[in-house]
């Protein structure tokens, strides 16, 4: 790591270059985000540099899309090589990269088949369509009656169907009417899932859930929930569909968050880090008795499975098969636990950690989550708030011990300087 981190701890000021970029974005781009006032121009490893030359520790990592850090040399090399050869054919033809990617991802997940898409939301939509089709073709659910159980506090994407079963009013407002066929239960409550299955008159085809909820503030389910849910789904003939878009691919210290309880879902939903932070790549993976319901013309994507995406995805799988990133996530988690948990009662109300993923609840009498992220930015750390006074941390898995210490010190210093409102 280059020893220039102290440059990031000086208080930033908005210069003409920063203001110009922010003004253009605010004027010409729709206001669907509320970014911190920093304009990032370059990134290497766990660090980014803004247009003023200030460096920041990236503790969001593109919502875990950058698990391998900015510009990982193996991923960049693979992408650059493929860019010179072939980027897109559409699935109207075979290409010489998709087969290898499909085989590698099936090996990683232990599944028979995969179906490639682009964004995480597309992968979730694909899982919904596959679950419904499986319900009609295999389980025998009456036409147009399929029900999918979801969890309160979920975040699965931004399509109209997906936000329809969200309980986030900001995401939902102004977009109705929504797609029917979903039933929401409290997160982590297997008894509630069982009741919902019973009440749906055998029309439930799947339970869609996150093994750890990211947008909700890194909410980890109770011990045993994943095992109990697996047993329930098997018993009732319902697909267990795990959205591992944020929690998977090394983030929580295991290849998949479901691995923490040695559980294998019927369907893995993957994205974000599958593209290495370079290119949007997503997929679902399942056994043939599930994904076999997809037939030519029944689902597709112009860019899904393109050779550039497949080349990058294959290299991502190769990195994960080495196991070093999963091990590093566990080490980062131990450091975060030791540093952040000591601050509970000293400005933090609660800390939740799963591998290199942490959600901290700040005493709302001190500041909001947004204000905390602004304070952290001044100390050279970039993070993201959610739901009031909660802040999420997800540093790239290439962050070293000094990087993690800087993060903890920044939080400690921020809390020490805070005064009750």
Distance CA 38, CA 377 (A): 8
For strand 182-185 and strand 147-151, is the pairing parallel, antiparallel, or unpaired? parallel
Is 101 catalytic? The answer is no
Work out the burial of residue 129: count CB atoms within 10 Å of its CB; fewer than 13 is exposed, 13-18 middle, 19 or more buried.
middle
Answer yes or no: are the C-beta atoms of 225 and 250 closer than 8 Å.
Answer: no
Q: Is 183 helix (H, G, I), strand (E, B) or coil?
A: strand
Is 413 catalytic? The answer is no
Q: How far is CA 339 from the centre of its chain?
A: 24
For strand 147-151 and strand 348-353, is the pairing parallel, antiparallel, or unpaired? unpaired
Q: Which one from 58, 68, 101, 155 is the annotated catalytic residue?
A: 155
DSSP letter for each residue of 37-96: S--EEEEEBTEEEETTS-EEEESSHHHHTTTT-BT-HHHHHHHHHHHTT-----TTS--T
Answer yes or no: are the C-beta atoms of 385 and 391 closer than 8 Å.
Answer: yes
Distance CA 304, CA 299 (A): 11
Q: What are phi and psi of 384, to 5 degrees?
A: -135, 135
Is 272 catalytic? The answer is yes
- Distance (Å) of CA 14 to CA 11, 22, 38, 378: 10, 10, 8, 12
Answer yes or no: are the C-beta atoms of 117 and 304 closer than 8 Å.
Answer: yes
Q: Is 185 helix (H, G, I), strand (E, B) or coil?
A: strand
Q: Which one from 50, 58, 272, 303 is the annotated catalytic residue?
A: 272
**Which sign does the torsion angle of CA 310, 311, 315, 318 carry?**
positive
C-beta atoms surrounding 322 within 10 Å: 9
For strand 40-44 and strand 47-50, is the pairing parallel, antiparallel, or unpaired? antiparallel
Q: Which one from 243, 266, 361, 403 is the annotated catalytic residue?
A: 243
Catalytic positions, written as ranges: 155, 243, 272
């Amino acid at each position: 790591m280059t020893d220039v981190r102290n440059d990031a701890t000086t208080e930033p000021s908005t210069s003409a270059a920063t203001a110009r970029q922010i003004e253009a974005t605010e004027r010409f781009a729709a206001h669907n985000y509320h970014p911190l006032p920093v304009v990032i121009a370059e990134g290497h490893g766990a660090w980014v540099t803004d247009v003023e030359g200030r460096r920041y520790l990236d503790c969001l990592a593109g919502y875990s899309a950058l698990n391998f850090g900015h510009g990982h040399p193996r991923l960049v090399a693979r992408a650059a090589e493929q860019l010179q050869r072939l980027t897109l054919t559409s699935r109207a033809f075979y290409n010489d990269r998709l087969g290898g990617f499909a085989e590698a991802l099936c090996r990683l997940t232990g599944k028979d088949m995969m179906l490639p898409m682009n964004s995480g939301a597309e992968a979730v939509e694909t899982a919904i369509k596959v679950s419904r089709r499986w319900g009609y073709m295999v389980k025998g659910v009456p036409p147009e009656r399929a029900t999918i159980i979801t969890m309160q506090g979920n975040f699965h994407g931004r399509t109209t169907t997906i936000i329809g079963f969200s309980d986030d009013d900001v995401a939902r407002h102004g977009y109705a009417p929504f797609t029917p066929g979903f039933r929401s239960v409290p997160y982590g409550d297997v008894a509630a899932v069982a009741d919902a299955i019973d009440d749906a008159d055998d029309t439930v085809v799947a339970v869609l859930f996150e093994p750890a909820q990211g947008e909700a503030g890194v909410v980890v389910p109770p011990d045993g929930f994943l095992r109990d849910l697996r047993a329930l789904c098997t018993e009732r003939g319902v697909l267990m569909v795990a959205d591992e878009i944020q929690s998977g691919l090394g983030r929580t210290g295991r290849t998949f968050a479901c691995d923490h309880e040695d559980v294998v879902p019927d369907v893995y939903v993957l994205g974000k880090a599958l593209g290495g932070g370079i290119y949007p790549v997503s997929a679902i993976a399942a056994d043939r008795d599930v994904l076999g319901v997809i037939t030519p013309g029944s689902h597709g994507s112009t860019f899904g499975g393109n050779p550039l995406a497949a080349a990058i995805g294959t290299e991502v799988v190769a990195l994960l098969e080495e196991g070093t990133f999963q091990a590093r996530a566990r080490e980062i988690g131990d450091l975060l636990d030791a540093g952040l948990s000591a601050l509970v009662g000293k400005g933090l109300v609660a800390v939740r950690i799963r591998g290199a993923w942490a959600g901290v609840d700040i005493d709302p009498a001190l500041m909001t989550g947004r204000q905390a992220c602004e304070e952290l930015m001044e100390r050279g750390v970039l993070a993201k708030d959610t739901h009031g006074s909660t802040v999420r941390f997800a540093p790239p898995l290439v962050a070293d011990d000094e990087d993690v210490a800087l993060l903890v010190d920044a939080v400690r210093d921020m809390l020490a300087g805070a005064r009750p409102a």
